[in-house]
């Protein structure tokens, strides 16, 4: 883990703690960073809609099985 010191808006932190239902500022910042990354990754995938063609016969589980991989998902 990286350690850093930052100045944050007290009112914004109070509101975010209440909304996120977390106990600490550390947990809040971790949650916010995690959600930020997930949202941007999802946005990147959504930008592909209409730009790529998915083969309707594609079966990722069968492909993994053929390669000897785990098909439990």
Domain spans in the chain, listed from the N-terminal domain onward: 10-66
Q: What are the backbone angles phi and psi of residue 28, rounded to the nearest 5°? A: -65, -45
pLDDT recorded at residue 22? 96
pLDDT of 11 higher than 90: yes
Cα within 13 Å of Cα(46), Cβ side: 6
Could you tell me what percent of the chain has a pLDDT over 70? 93
pTM for this entry: 0.58
Is 21 buried (19+), middle (13-18) or exposed (0-12) by CB count in 10 A?
exposed
């Amino acid at each position: 883990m990286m350690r850093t010191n930052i100045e944050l808006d007290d009112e914004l932190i109070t509101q975010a703690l209440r909304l996120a239902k977390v106990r600490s500022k550390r947990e809040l910042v971790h949650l916010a960073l995690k959600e930020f990354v997930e949202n941007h990754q999802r946005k990147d995938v959504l930008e592909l809609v209409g730009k790529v063609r998915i083969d309707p016969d594609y079966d990722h589980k069968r492909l993994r099985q053929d390669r000897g991989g785990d098909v439990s998902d």
